Structure 1
Amino acid sequence: MSHRQFTRRTTSAVAGLAVVALAATACGGDDPATGGGGGGGGGASEMTTVTVGTLPIANAAPMYLGIQEGFFEEEGLEVEETVAQTGNEIITGMVAGDYDFGFVGYISAGIAAARGIPVCVLTASDATGTSPEDDWQVLVTSGDSPIDGPEDLANTTVSVNGLGGVAEVMLKAALDKAGVDWSTVELIEVPFPEVPAAVAAGRIDAGYTSEPFVTTVLDQGGKVAFAPQSYIAPEYPNGSYAASQQAYQEDPELMERFEAAMTRSLDFARENPDAIREIIPTYTQIPADVANRMRLPVYQSELQPEAIDEQMGFMETYEIVEEAPSADDLICGE
C-alpha cells in the first residue's frame, strides 16, 4: 500500500495501547502449562487450555456454539473465555500474555499494529449484512425524521460510539462513496446502548449503533436511515480473531488448531441461525425475545485480504493513523 504523510492525531480508540508496546518484549510464554503455549509438544489428543478475550455481543456467538458442538474439543482445545468490554482491552490483554487469542475488529487490530503493538489477525469472524434491511450495525433515527439515506446527512449531528474508531472510519468512507461531504456532518460520541434514548429525545439527528439496540429503536417506532458498512460492500468484513505476534511465532501448531476449530464454528453458525439465537442469551444480557428478532451478523470463515487492505487505507485517508499496515502485514504468517 502507498502511504501519504500528514499530522498524527490522538484518538480515543487507541488510548493506552502505547504502553503495551513498551512491555511487549517482556511478555511471558515460559509456562506452557498455564495457557496456550501448552499445545506445542502434543497432538490434538492432548487437551490444551487456551484463553480467549471476547465481547458480550452476538458477533462472538460462533465460538460459544463451537464449544457447545465439540469443535474445539476435537482439536484438543479447552476454551477459557474472558468477557471484556472493548477491543482495546482485549488487545492489551493479548500482548500482555493474559489471552492467547482475542476477538477484535480489523480496524482495531490495524490501529494497534500501526502504533507498534505486535498483534496479527488469525481468522475471520463476522461481516455486515447486505442492505439497510438486514444489516446489524447501522445509522438509526426517529420514525418521522427526514433522513432516509446518505444524501440527507449533510449538516446533521450524528453519533458514533468512539471518535477515531470503526464507526467514524466506516461512516466517512460510505459518505465519500455516496458523494456526500462528510466534513459537513458533526460527529459526537454516544455509546451504542445510549443511542435509542438519544434518538427518542432528539439529542442527535441520527445515531450509529449495533444490535440489539437497532431492534430497540425499531421497537420505539424509529427507523434505519443508512447502513454505511454494507453500503461500502455487502458482507463487508468486520471482526476477527487475533493473537500476539509472539504467541503466533512460539506455537504455530496451536494457532492452526484454534483456526481449524473456529473455521468449523463459523461455518456451522452461518448455516444454523436458530442455534445462534438460542445461544446468545447464555453469555450476553440480551433477552431471548430480542435474540429471536434481532438482526444477526453474517459469519464468514475466510479472511478477505482485499477488503482488509481497503480498511487499512481508510485509516490513513481519514487520518486515524499516519501509516497503516497492509493486509499482508496484519494477517498472521503472511
Structure 2
Amino acid sequence: MWSKNWKRRLAGALAVSLAAAVALTGCGPKNKGEATKVRIGEVTRSIFYAPQYAAITKGFFKEEGLDIELTTTPGGDKTMTALLSGGIDVALVGSETSIYVSQQGSGDPVINFSQLTQTDGTFLVSRKPIQGKFDWNQLKGTTFLGQRKGGMPQMAGEFTLKKYGINPQKDLNLIQNVDFANIPTAFASGTGEYVQLFEPQATMIEKQGKGYVIASFGVESGKLPYTVFMAKKSFMDKNSGTIQKFANAVQKAQNWVQKSSVEEIADAIAPYFEDTDKEVIRTVVKRYKDQGTFATDGIVDEQEWNNLQNVMEAAGELKQRADFKALVNNQFAEKAKQNVK
C-alpha cells in the first residue's frame, strides 16, 4: 500500500480540502473575454502524455478560452495532496488514486472526467538480448527491478506476471525499494537482470546498448483508465463550464494525435522534452501510438474501470470495489466526443 507518510499527508489534505470547498469561488475569468486559468498537476513529465502537451502547443486549450498552468508534481501522493489542498485544479494521474482517496473517506470525492491514456506505459527490458522467441517463464529465478509498490505500473506488472503463472514474490528476486526516478540509473549501473521501465528511459537504455526492450506491459495487461484528468467534485460543480471546455480541448488533441504522423506529434511535444533527443521522442511516440496507448476519447469505459480494479485486487491493493458511477463522470467527455470534430 502507499506509505504511512502518504496516508498522513492525505489525511491532512482531506481536512484542508473540506475547508477549501466551503470558500470555493470558482476559477472563472474576472472580465468578460479574459481566459480562464486552470492549474494542472501532472504526476510526471512523460511522452506517455503526448496528447496533453499537444493540446497546449497546438492551441486547443486556448481555443476553448483556457489559460493552462502546468506543473509536475512527482508521485501520485504529491499530486493528490496538491489537488485535495487546492494547490491545483485538475490532476493528471492514475485512476487508482481516486479510489485510494475514496477509501480514506473523503467527503469531497475526486472525480475522473477525461481519460488520456488507456494502457500501461511500461516495458520489460532485458540486460541481455533474447535468443529466439521470448517466453515469460525465462524470468523465473532472475533478479527483477520493479516499480513502486501500490502504483499502477507495479500492479500492471504483477498482473502480467501472474497471467503467465509467475509469482513475483516467490519466483523472482523482486526489488521494489528503488525510487521511481532512480530505477533506470540503477539498472544501467548493474542492478537486476530485467527491469520494468517507462519511456523514454526504456528506449534510451536500448540506444545506449545497456538493455533490450522485449515486451510491453501495456499490451499484456489490457485496456485500463490508466491516466485520467480528475478534479474534486466541489470544483466540478462550481466550474462545470470550465470542465466542459477542458474536455473539449482534450478531445481536439486526441483527434489530432490520431490523424497526425509520428513526426508531427514529436514536433508538437518536443518543447516539453528539450533534453531528449528528437529521435528518441519519435521512437517513443511510435511505440505508444502503435500499441494504442493514447485514448481516442475522454470517456472512461466501465469495462476498463473494472479491469483496473481486477489489476488492483490481484496486487492486494484494493480494500473493496469502488463504485464506477460515484467516481466517474463521463458527461463532459461524451459531449466533447459528440460535438468536437
TM over 0.5: yes
Query: For the residues of structure 1 that align with 2:151 and 2:15, how far apart are their CA atoms?
Result: 23
| 1:290 alignment counterpart | 280
> Cα–Cα, structure 1 residues 13 and 59, in superposed 2: closer, same or farther, change >3 Å?
farther
Superposition deviation, residue 265 in structure 1: 1.2
After the TM superposition, which residues 83-94 of structure 1 pair with which residues of structure 2 at under 5 Å, given as runs?
83-94=72-83
Query: For the residues of structure 1 that align with 2:313 and 2:154, how far apart are their CA atoms?
Result: 13
After the TM superposition, which residues 145-164 of structure 1 pair with which residues of structure 2 at under 5 Å, given as runs?
148-164=134-150
SS where residue 116 of structure 1 aligns? Answer: coil
After the TM superposition, which residues 161-176 of structure 1 pair with which residues of structure 2 at under 5 Å, given as runs?
161-176=147-162
Query: For the residues of structure 1 that align with 2:144 and 2:257, how far apart are their CA atoms?
Result: 33
| 1:187 alignment counterpart | 174
RMSD: 2.9
The answer as to 2:119 corresponding to 1:119 is no
Query: For the residues of structure 1 that align with 2:270 and 2:22, how far apart are their CA atoms?
Result: 34
What do the CA deviations read for 1:267-308 (whole angstroms, capped 9, x no partner)? 212322323211333123323232122233532123222111
What do the CA deviations read for 1:145-188 (whole angstroms, capped 9, x no partner)? 67933222223322223112112211221122223233323332
Q: Which residue type is aligned with residue 251 of structure 2?
A: T
SS where residue 167 of structure 1 aligns? Answer: helix
Superposition deviation, residue 42 in structure 1: 9.4
SS where residue 37 of structure 1 aligns? Answer: coil
User: Paired residue for 1:322, among 315, 319, 324?
Assistant: 319
CA contact (8 A) 2:148 2:180 kept: no
> Cα–Cα, structure 1 residues 149 and 220, in superposed 2: closer, same or farther, change >3 Å?
farther
> Cα–Cα, structure 1 residues 13 and 243, in superposed 2: closer, same or farther, change >3 Å?
farther
SS where residue 74 of structure 2 aligns? Answer: coil
Query: For the residues of structure 1 that align with 2:15 and 2:330, how far apart are their CA atoms?
Result: 23
TM-score by structure 1 length?
Answer: 0.82
CA contact (8 A) 1:312 1:326 kept: no
Query: For the residues of structure 1 that align with 2:104 and 2:185, how far apart are their CA atoms?
Result: 35
Task: Point out the more displaced range, 138-147 or 261-270.
Answer: 138-147
Query: For the residues of structure 1 that align with 2:5 and 2:153, how far apart are their CA atoms?
Result: 11
| 1:128 alignment counterpart | 119
Q: Which residue type is aligned with residue 263 of structure 1?
A: Q
Superposition deviation, residue 201 in structure 1: 4.1
CA contact (8 A) 1:119 1:243 kept: yes
Superposition deviation, residue 241 in structure 1: 0.7
Query: For the residues of structure 2 that align with 1:125 and 1:60, how far apart are their CA atoms?
Result: 7
Paired residues in the alignment total 314
| 1:77 alignment counterpart | 66
Superposition deviation, residue 107 in structure 1: 2.4
Query: For the residues of structure 1 that align with 2:72 and 2:207, how far apart are their CA atoms?
Result: 28
Query: For the residues of structure 1 that align with 2:16 and 2:124, how far apart are their CA atoms?
Result: 38
CA contact (8 A) 1:280 1:286 kept: no
Query: For the residues of structure 1 that align with 2:330 and 2:185, how far apart are their CA atoms?
Result: 44
| 1:241 alignment counterpart | 229
Superposition deviation, residue 242 in structure 1: 0.8
| 1:133 alignment counterpart | none
Query: For the residues of structure 2 that align with 1:192 and 1:225, how far apart are their CA atoms?
Result: 21
What do the CA deviations read for 1:116-171 (whole angstroms, capped 9, x no partner)? 34211110101338xxxxxx511111124679332222233222231121122112
Query: For the residues of structure 2 that align with 1:319 and 1:60, how far apart are their CA atoms?
Result: 27
Query: For the residues of structure 2 that align with 1:149 and 1:216, how far apart are their CA atoms?
Result: 24
| 1:20 alignment counterpart | 13
The answer as to 2:147 corresponding to 1:140 is no
Q: Which residue type is aligned with residue 127 of structure 1?
A: Q
Q: Percent of counterpart pairs with the same letter?
A: 22
Q: Which residue type is aligned with residue 140 of structure 1?
A: V
CA contact (8 A) 2:145 2:191 kept: no
CA contact (8 A) 1:29 1:247 kept: no
| 1:3 alignment counterpart | none
Q: Runs ≥4 in structure 1, deviation > 6 angstroms?
A: none
What do the CA deviations read for 1:304-334 (whole angstroms, capped 9, x no partner)? 2211122123323322132242332321378
After the TM superposition, which residues 197-276 of structure 1 pair with which residues of structure 2 at under 5 Å, given as runs?
197-221=185-209, 222-233=211-222, 236-272=224-260, 273-276=262-265
CA contact (8 A) 2:117 2:294 kept: yes
The answer as to 2:325 corresponding to 1:299 is no
Structure 2: state its 5+ residue gaps.
Answer: 332-341
CA contact (8 A) 2:136 2:164 kept: yes
